[in-house]
Amino acid sequence: AVSMDPQQRLVLETSWEALERAGIRPESLSESRTGVYLGAMTSDYGHQGHDLEALDGYTSTGYASSVVSGRVSYTLGLQGPAVTVDTACSSSLVALHLAVTALRQGECDLALAGGVTVMNTPALFVEFSRLKGMAPDGRCKSFSARADGAGWAEGVGVLVLKRLSAAERDGDRILAVIRGSAVNQDGRSQGLTAPNGPSQQRVIRDALAASRLTPADIDAVEAHGTGTPLGDPIEAGALAEVFGPGRDAQRPVYLGSSKSNIGHTQAAAGVVGVIKMVLALQHQMLPKTLYADEPSPHIAWEGSGLKLLDEARPWPREAGRVRRAGVSSFGLSGTNAHVVLEEPPVRETTKATPNGTTRNGTAGGSTTEDGATRNGTTENGTAGGGAVEGGVVPLVVSGRDVGALRAQAGRWAEWLAGCGDAVSLVDVAATAVWGRSQFEYR
């Protein structure tokens, strides 16, 4: 454990939790064609090779970036591709693009995609301070007149991906659809680390083309937006070139960056942006971007088709219109990525009935009570045991030891207390049995 980069432990924990939230027992994936695509930058944990006497036989795997993804596959017995991606700040969004491509090409049937960054030393703070790239107060003021550099953060995020047809066939709860994605490179530009506006335009246009959409179909963009006085105006200018021409002034593209809220999570930044927009779809609300009271004067906002999210704005479902958002991530290496997300399709789902059979209902797939999908019923789509709503049902809780069991029971109690009548206890109990691993202590 001492020799293992903590990023490996964090992606193991987060991958397990992501599968549980998807209603998939991790052990059920053993020997399956499940891929793992994770973004991770060069780790500053330990000093491999500096002290030859300290090498213990675990150092090579403990520090290897390849093992960030490989250890997840090894631990869970997954036999799809395992790839660790390092394109600096765009790593996790590039990993997502590769995972989507692999699913579409049939290289895997399920995929885990995301990224992780842990900062164990102050080295990156010192390095970027000398580059004059750090905000003195450590805060990213994205697209703001106060923009004065980036502020670092740590993070980890993992998504569970499946082909849409397979997710609908299996009755999975679909949180969002990845409509299309694209990746490109700046090539030779004004500097290795400087952003390139024309390349940013191209990657967005390519993602829209892959999605078979036009700029008018996009409601919002989760921007890279690190809060630098150089990068933000270049990014906004590229977005204006794509979304500005012919844009209805009453329907601007709402622009924001989660980096203003939680900082720049580096290799995890792309997956953070995706999670943010999935939550925005669920809550029908575009979050406020901080420090945006006075937008940057270096950006030509008038006629750009863009509107900075200087306050939270409702993003309601509309009849006849699908809500969509773009997510951008641009790497220090010059590698750019853009993903187009859209809200999940309204579909027929099943819900448990008192006699244990199912009935049809329409749901958007965004709440737990949407029904007895595989994460709410037995594998064949029917609720087991003939449980009656309002009656007594068993909620199975388990752990690897007594302490873990008690902690898990506490988390269940806290969660249920906060839900009130918003969820079906029958469906929750079914998920606890069929969608979670069962350990020795129960």
In residues, how long is the chain? Answer: 442
Q: Active site includes 89?
A: yes
Q: Active site includes 283?
A: no
Task: For residue 270, give the nearest of 194, 316, 335, 205 by alpha carbon.
Answer: 335
Task: For residue 218, give the nearest of 248, 182, 173 by alpha carbon.
Answer: 248
Sheet holding 82-85, edge to edge: 82-85, 34-40, 110-117, 155-161
Of 97, 108, 264, 338, catalytic: 264
Backbone angles phi, psi at 261, to 5 degrees: -90, -40
Identity at 207, one-letter amino acid code: A
Q: Active site includes 298?
A: no
DSSP letter at 402? H
Of 108, 140, 224, 338, catalytic: 224
| Euclidean distance between CA atoms 421 and 425, whole angstroms | 9
**DSSP-assigned states of every residue in 234-283:** HHHHHHHHHH-TT--TTSPEEEE-THHHH-B-GGGHHHHHHHHHHHHHHH
Q: What tokens appear for 184 in the block?
A: 């490109």
Of 47, 89, 97, 140, catalytic: 89
- Strands 253-256 and 220-222 come out as parallel
Dihedral sign from CA coordinates of 371, 162, 27, 67: negative
The answer to whether the beta carbons of residues 247 and 254 sit under 8 Å apart is: no
Which residues are annotated as catalytic? 89, 224, 264
